[in-house]
Every structure is written in structure tokens, then in C-alpha cells.
Amino acid sequence: MSTIETSAPASAPEPTSEPATASAPSTSVPSTSVPSAPVPDDIAVDVAALGQQLMGRWADSRRASRALMRKPEFHRDPSLGMDEHRARVLGQLKLLVEQGEVHRAFPAAFGGHDDHGGFIASFEELLLGDPSMQIKSGVQWGLYASAILHLGTAPHHEAWLPDALTLATPGAFAMTETGHGSDVSAIGTTATYDPATDEWVIHTPFRAAWKDYLGNAALHGRSAVVFAQLITRNVNHGVHAFYVPLRDEKGAFLPGVGGEDDGLKGGLNGIDNGRLHFTNVRIPRTNLLNRYGSVDENGVYTSPIESPGRRFFTMLGTLVQGRVSLDGAVTVASKLALTIAIRYGTERRQFAGGDRDEVVLLDYQRHQRRLLPRLAQTYAMSFAHEVFLEKFDAVFSGRTATDADREDLETLAAALKPLSTWAALDIIQEAREACGGQGFLAENRLVQLRADLDIYATFEGDNNVLLQLVAKRLLTDYSRAFGRADAGVMAHYVAGQVNEAVVNRSGLRRLAQSVADFGSTARSVGYVRDTASQRQLLTDRVETMVAELAGKLRPASRMSREEGAALFNRHQNALIETARAHGELLQWEAFTEALEHVEHAGTRQVLTWLRDLFGLGLIEKNLAWYVIHGRLSDHRAQAITDYIDDRLLPRLRPHALALTDAFEFAPEHIRAEIATGVEAERQAEARAHYADLAARGLAPIDEKDLMAAKKARG
């Protein structure tokens, strides 16, 4: 891709944390928009270099997957009904097998490359073809086959992995139940060992224990990894995974196995989601996936992990890649939606300006407010995801695979997946509305994309439940750090971070700006605009929220279990808000770290503005908290909003197209007519028509002009 560079408004920039120090030759991007400000040549975006950075460490894997997604056979066909769509998606998975796109994460002995990061990166890009194809492939290889790999041992790998990888045996991942989704430890399905026959008896004791929402369960699945309560010698050893055949070669359920089709859903209708239930289904003892727990022929249970709780979370932790891939996939979807909306916004004209020429939508401040902060958020999500993916690959490759590393990965997954999936739904919806009626047409993809991604917010755990896990981890870390602090120290910490030792250990410094404010917006915002101040404000909020929660929940240690649960429930919303603030800080830090690796001066300046828009946007969103807690004065709070509106949006507006061009989407990936340039052609045709009428003296007189002239004559 050639380098495309755009320019910034000519207004003198405020001092920034990353000022441009050099310039590159500017190649103008043709535009039919009315420029909102003169465009100098000294600040530009190197699109090619930025695109390479956004692709990350596994750029080759991403591009290989994108090359496939340019082919029509991988595209969603919106004309298909549910049955035809399901058949097409199954065929697409077979094509992926033929292309060798499904083996990257698996051992070399099974044709793989032991490339965990590359597998996830490649998988995320499948969304550009059809989200149903992406999720069904995730069910087959990211869940079903990966469960065999990570929860099973060598005999299981040899027996079942080859057919799972080639799709000879389509499989289901039977964890979720109708009555228990996020609370996996409480599922009702049982696996009881029968020493007389050396078999497990898989049983669904009641309707709420049916396995539900399972991809491949309604039609295509021939076997499943079933999660059930392992019972032997009348002792329940908790949830374990079992390999259970489901159907014969003709597709009929095996004896004791039953199920239903979930039918038409709100989205992802290319996946055959269904329900399964088991009535005393018998499988060999060796079908227990026994990496973390085994039972011998006498029914004696053993495990390398003594603690039942830690064993359970270790087993689930091996499957964290689902949350990793969802975080990346919705980031791809957000990039796609913004590419469509921003391209359309730079061409579509509406409402006459001073010279009666209609104005390009993206030149309106409100339109910029709708799209540019979400563009900044998407960049933050993208950079944070690459950090996430690096951590995942390090753990799953074994380079850094201690218990602490795994716990950090799980916490990171629980923090980022909720933020990105919620953000994607918001971004796609705003992009749809920003395109007006055109955005509602199926041909422009935004409505279907929003419908397909709706379920991502509850895939792999409800977002609110995941954020509670994050908050609990933050509280645990806090208690370790301050477990021996007396009440006086705790009170000082919560009251305003006034204890200097605590502040310094936290890497914070006080702004103390409430003592003296300044009259001008530039001077007021100057004290919160730089990198260090943004970091302080965002970090301070997380630290204070954790400290306040810890103080409120501290009495729980002296309460009964019921009283402690009630106390926890009273502060549940604060837990979630604290975890959200922590996740946003992680995204901001990833964006800031990425800036350090940008060599091109113009790109670095534009990305710094974009990072500032993200960071100050987070502060603006939570201004009430900052004012109430004395971190910002009313005047400085208003200055932040003014700076966003008066400085950052105008500076970023000329670079909007370049920032989306860096996403490197080909026309075959976008497949939305309003992002092809057709709107610019329509606008040019309309303007030429009126210009021609005027040139030939055929343009009718506007009644308002006639009235104005009449009024002028008195």
C-alpha cells in the first residue's frame, strides 16, 4: 500500500506531549468536502506504516486470513434463509480446512505450528467474511478441539484431534446450561462413575440442566465435550470435561441423547445452535479428559491440583482464548463500521452553507463528536488487544506460564472483553445512525453486523459477571498491599491520597489544581492535557475506587456468610464501575505505549491527538466523579470539554480518512456501497446539474431571494 498523507488545520497547536518535530511530503487526499480550516503541509499520517503497526506482531497471519476473506465464497449471502445459511457456513468451514487455516495453534504432530497468537489473529479476521463462519469455526477449533487439546492427555489427542481438525467429526462445546450460564460451577449435569462397568453415566436430572445455545448441537455435531459434575464413590469432585458421542453417521441421535434446535435467533443464523440432554448415557471411563483429574478403575479420584477451587479455575483458564478472540473480533468489526461511516460522512452533503453549497456531514461538529471519539476508542481497543494477544501467546506457548501469569491473563480477559464488546455495539449503532437511512439498508452491512455481534456481549460469560471477577482481583491485590495498614493509614488513603508514601508507591502525584484556576481554556486544560496528568487522573480514579470499596467491604470478614453476601450485593454496582475504570486505564496505557513506537513525526502527532481524545473523553465521561472527589475544579472540568470541541476535533477531522485507511480493508472486505465512493459521484452529479442550470440562466429564482430583494427595495 502506498503512503497516503493528510494534513491538519492551520491553527497554532497547544503544547502536546508528543509534538511533531519533522515533516514529510504531503500527498493530498482528493476530497469533495468543504474544508473546515486551511490545510498546511507539515503534519501528515503515514498510512502504510500505521497500518503495519495496527496489524501487530501477527500481521502475516492477519493478512493471510484477509486474503481469503476477499473471496466471494467466504462472504455472507444476505439472500439466504436460515437453513441455506447454515449449509453455506458448514461449507465455508470445509474450505478453511482445505486452506490450512485451522491448525496454527495445534501441535506439529497434528499438522499445526504451535502458533497460538497467530491462530487467534487469523481467526479474528474471519468476521470480515461472515460472523457466523467465524463463530462456528471458533466452536469447532477454538472450543471443541481446544478443549480436547488442553483438558485431555496424549491418548485423547491421538484418538480425537485429527478428526476434529479436519472436520470429519464436527463437535459441540457443551458447557452452558439453560439454568446456569456464567455460573459454570453450579451446572446440573452429572457424570457418575459405575465401577461395575468401568463407565461414566452422563445424566441430565432436570430441564434447567439441558445444555443450551450450543453451536453444532442442532444439526452438524457428531460428538461433544460435555462439562458435568464428576461424582465417584458418592463424592462430587466438581466440574470436569468428558468426551461424549452424540450422533451416528446418518445424523441420528445415539441412545439416551436428545436435543432441540434453538431455531431463528437475533443474529448469527448461519450457526446451528441447539440444546442437548442426556438420559443415563454411558461412556468409557477413559473418556474423561483427565489432565487435571483422573479416576482409576476402582473409582479413586486423583488430581495434580489439590484445591477444588483452584482446579476448577485452572481448567476454565485453559479456555480463555475465547475471550481473547472476541475482544479482537469486535475490534475488527468496530474498524469496519467506522470505515463505512467516516467514508460516507466525508462525501454525503446536507444543509446549505453560507454560499449555498451543501456541507459535508463530517464537517459538522456534532458529526465529529459522534464518530471521532469512537475512532479514538477503537484505536485504544486495537492497541490494547495486541498487548492482550502477546500475553495470551506467552502463557499458552509456555514462555511465561506460571500461576501468576495465568491469573493475570484471566483478569486481563475479564477486563477487556466486556469493554470491547459493549463498545462495538455502541460504535456500530452510532455508525448506522450517522449514515441515516443508508445505514439501515442491508447492502451497507451495519444493521446485520450489529445484530450478529449482539450476542458477543454475553458470549464467554456475561460482561457484568466478568467485571466482578476483575474487581475481586483488584480488591485481592489491594488487601495484599495494605493488609497490615492501620485504620489511620486507610482513612488517609481513602480520603484523598494525602499519605505521600501511599501516593508515591502508586506512581501518582497530586495535581493540587483546585487551589488555583486560570481564566483561559488553554491554560486551564494545559495542566490535565499532557500524558503524565492524564495517567495520574485515570490511575487515581482506579486506586481511589478500589480503596473506597475495600473500606466498605472490610466488615465482611467478620460477618456470617449470608451477611457478607448481602454487603457485597449492596456494592455490586460500584464493583463493576471500578473494574470498568481499570479496563479503560489498561486501554489508555496500551495506546500511550504504542505512541512510543511511532517513528513518523506526523503520524505521532495525529495519534497523540487521538490518544488525548480518548483519555480526555474518559475523564469527561466521569467529570462528576472527579469534581466530587476534588480532583478537578468546575472550571477545569469545563475546559476539558471545550478543548475537545475547539481543539481536538478540528485537528483530527482532516485525518479521519487516513486513520481509517490504516485499517487496511480492501473493497471486498467492506462490501458496503456507501463506502465505495458512489456517494461522492452522486453529489458531484447533483452539483454539476445545478451549476449547469445557473450557467445557462435556467435556474429558478428562490422565493426567499425574491422576498429579500423586494424588502430591500422597500
Helix/strand/coil (H/E/C) assignment for every residue in 510-575: CCCHHHCCCCCHHHHHHHHHCHHHHHHHHHHHHHHHHHHHHHHHHHHHHCCHHHHHHHHHHCHHHH
What whole-number distance in Å separates Cα of residue 364 and Cα of residue 345? 10
Closest CA to 528 of 693, 650, 639: 639
What whole-number distance in Å separates Cα of residue 574 and Cα of residue 431? 30
Please tell me the predicted confidence (pLDDT) of residue 182.
Answer: 79
Please tell me the predicted confidence (pLDDT) of residue 17.
Answer: 46
Contact (CB, 8 A) for 193 and 160: no
Query: Which residues pair with residue 352 across a beta bridge?
Result: 358
**Single-letter amino acid code for the residue at 282:** R
What whole-number distance in Å separates Cα of residue 127 and Cα of residue 457? 16
H-helix or E-strand spanning residue 214: strand 211-214
Q: What's 342-377 look like in SS3?
A: HHHHCCCEEEECCCCCEEEHHHCHHHHHHHHHHHHH
Please tell me the predicted confidence (pLDDT) of residue 526.
Answer: 65
Please tell me the predicted confidence (pLDDT) of residue 523.
Answer: 56
Radius of gyration of the chain (CA): 28
What is the number of other CB atoms lying within 10 angstroms of the CB of residue 637? Answer: 18
Give the residue ranges of the chain where pLDDT is below 50.
1-40, 485-519
Secondary structure class of 33 (helix, strand, coil) = coil
pTM of the model: 0.88
Contact (CB, 8 A) for 603 and 3: no
Cell numbers that stand for 366 in this block: 456534532
Contact (CB, 8 A) for 212 and 178: yes
What whole-number distance in Å separates Cα of residue 286 and Cα of residue 190? 16
What whole-number distance in Å separates Cα of residue 6 and Cα of residue 38? 12
What whole-number distance in Å separates Cα of residue 282 and Cα of residue 301? 19
474 backbone φψ class: left, alpha, beta (φ>0; ψ -120 to 50): alpha
Query: Which residues pair with residue 245 across a beta bridge?
Result: 223
Please tell me the predicted confidence (pLDDT) of residue 352.
Answer: 74
- Give the full edge-to-edge strand order of the sheet including 257-261: 211-214, 274-278, 257-261
Secondary structure class of 236 (helix, strand, coil) = strand
The residue to which cell 449482539 is assigned: 454
Cell numbers that stand for 216 in this block: 453444532
Please tell me the predicted confidence (pLDDT) of residue 269.
Answer: 97
What whole-number distance in Å separates Cα of residue 214 and Cα of residue 322? 14
Please tell me the predicted confidence (pLDDT) of residue 702.
Answer: 84
Contact (CB, 8 A) for 347 and 677: yes
Phi, psi of 324 (to 5 degrees): -60, -50
Q: What is the DSSP string of 161-209?
A: HHHHHHTSS-EEEE--BSS-SS-GGG---EEEEETTTTEEEEE--SGGG
How remote is the C-alpha of 34 from its chain's centroid? 34
What whole-number distance in Å separates Cα of residue 376 and Cα of residue 591? 9
Cell numbers that stand for 37 in this block: 480550516
